[in-house]
Amino acid sequence: MSVVLLVAVLAFAVIRPRGLPEAVAAVPAAAVVLATGAIPWSHAVAEVERLAPVVAFLAAVLVLARLCADEGLFEAAGSLMARLCSGSPKRLLGAVFGVAAAITAVLSLDATVVLLTPVVFATASRLGARPKPHVYACTHLANSASLLLPVSNLTNLLAFTAAGISFTAFAGLMALPWLAAVAVEYVVFRFFFASDLAAGADGPPMPVPDRKAPTFVLVVLGLTLVGFAVTSPLGIDPAWAAFGGALVLGVRALVRRTTTPTALVGATSVPFLVFVLALGIVVRAVVDNGLSSAVSHLIPTGGTLLALLGLAAVAAVLANLINNLPAVLVLLPLAASGGTGAVLAVLIGVNIGPNLTYVGSLATLLWRRILHQHDTTADLAEFTKLGLLTVPVSLVLSVLGLWAGLTVIGG
């Protein structure tokens, strides 16, 4: 029953009939597993307590990203990309990669998918470039470029908690995997979209509005990142640094009347936060009723390179079967006994693996909806072929980077 409910929740999240939020299915499913005794109340409470700090962190980062968008940060990013490329689609792809990788790392993959993708659409069209390579880069980098910092992805926040390391140690160990994943994606994209990058769109290029980067916002973001690094070694939840950054920009926006309290609350995406908590309860019910023991037989043990590669591969496959968020909730408790390396190998698998299929991550599903809003569709065969070219190589090289980091830094 727990498995059936989990599948139903994920199917609802994929389809989202009438645009209803994911929580519409997840909350009743959580109520059913509780009412039927599929999960004890004590386990459900423990799961909510485990996820609550992560969800609070996510809420603060979502508000921070929305306020940055309101201040014109993403329009400034579009202007920067246009200046860097000088009308060349190939250089534009490089600019998109740089901007998307940075925004994903600092403001989370949701910011790249929701806020940057429309800007990339507009910038490519105005410059006379075919949007497809640049827009596909947004969704791929939203997943694979989210390896760097704990704040880059909800899965990172969960792994960061399970690994029990500092913010700077996490970033240090994941720097090489992040660089490897981004580099592989760029090389494959240049080859895969060669014809699109060599051709232009119909019509002459149009001028791109020149927007200057909002200095105050960049300073606040920089101080927020410093706050993440400082609070972690002191035993203070990094969520407080995120709240601090959001508070500064939020108060400034309210004083200047560029936002409202209602808009700030809406930016937290409360239905999605509730969905995460409810999904956690349903996944815990599945784990308690046999999935944990079944998957444990597939989990390699030890800290060898081969074991790390096996963990990443299992995580990538499971992410494409049940979505990366449930996959990381299932695998982290099993991998935690293997130490920091095992936890981070799982993270590499659940972050890079979703580039293989539409259902691998919620970010990809959201990206598809944004494409539809721009009267564009993503071809399933093309998406899958691109994933087959990028995912296996990215996984192997990223795990090699992690193994090298563990050897040098330790963990």
Residue 129, classed as helix, strand or coil, is strand
Q: Angle CA(402)–CA(408)–CA(411) in degrees, nearest 5?
A: 65
pLDDT band at 198 (very low <50, low <70, confident <90, very high): confident
How confident is the model at residue 62, as a pLDDT? 84
How confident is the model at residue 59, as a pLDDT? 86
What is the pTM for the complete model shown?
A: 0.85
Percent of the chain whose pLDDT exceeds 70: 97
How confident is the model at residue 202, as a pLDDT? 53
How confident is the model at residue 255, as a pLDDT? 93
**What token pair was written down for 139?**
């969704």
How confident is the model at residue 379, as a pLDDT? 82
Which amino acid type is present at position 324?
N
What are phi and psi for residue 201, nearest 5 degrees? -85, 170
Residue 277, classed as helix, strand or coil, is helix
Residues linked to residue 200 through DSSP beta bridges, in sequence order:
129
Instruction: Kindly state the average pLDDT of the residues 174-193.
Output: 96
Contact 9, 279 (CB under 8 A): yes
Residue 87's Cβ-side half-sphere holds a number of Cα atoms within 13 Å equal to: 4
Residues linked to residue 158 through DSSP beta bridges, in sequence order:
none
Instruction: Kindly state the average pLDDT of the residues 13-36.
Output: 87
The pLDDT tens digits for 125-158 are: 888 888 899 999 999 999 999 999 988 988 998 8
In terms of residues, how long is the chain? 411
> How many C-beta neighbours within 10 Å does residue 40 have?
13
Ranges 6-15, 220-229, 283-292, 399-408, most confident: 399-408
Contact 121, 82 (CB under 8 A): no
What are phi and psi for residue 147, nearest 5 degrees? -80, -20
How confident is the model at residue 200, as a pLDDT? 61
Residue 82 has pLDDT above 80, yes or no: yes
How confident is the model at residue 392, as a pLDDT? 97
Residue 203 has pLDDT above 80, yes or no: no
Task: Calculate the average pLDDT of the chain.
Answer: 88
Residue 201 has pLDDT above 60, yes or no: no
Q: Angle CA(239)–CA(312)–CA(104) in degrees, nearest 5?
A: 40
Q: Angle CA(272)–CA(278)–CA(284) in degrees, nearest 5?
A: 135
> How many C-beta neighbours within 10 Å does residue 75 have?
21
pLDDT band at 205 (very low <50, low <70, confident <90, very high): low
The pLDDT tens digits for 348-366 are: 999 999 999 887 887 887 7
Rounded Cα gap, residues 401 and 4, in angstroms: 38
The string of DSSP letters for 152-174 reads: G-HHHHHHHHHHT--HHHHHHHH
How confident is the model at residue 135, as a pLDDT? 93
Contact 21, 275 (CB under 8 A): yes
Residues linked to residue 219 through DSSP beta bridges, in sequence order:
none
Contact 252, 19 (CB under 8 A): no
Name the E strands within 261-354.
Answer: none
The pLDDT tens digits for 41-76 are: 999 999 898 888 878 888 888 898 889 989 988 888
How confident is the model at residue 388, as a pLDDT? 96
Instruction: Kindly state the average pLDDT of the residues 237-253.
Output: 89
Angle between helix 324-335 and helix 340-352 axes, rounded to 10 deg: 170
pLDDT band at 411 (very low <50, low <70, confident <90, very high): low
Rounded Cα gap, residues 400 and 201, in angstroms: 39
Rounded Cα gap, residues 173 and 341, in angstroms: 9
Burial label for 319, CB within 10 Å (0-12, 13-18, 19+), is buried
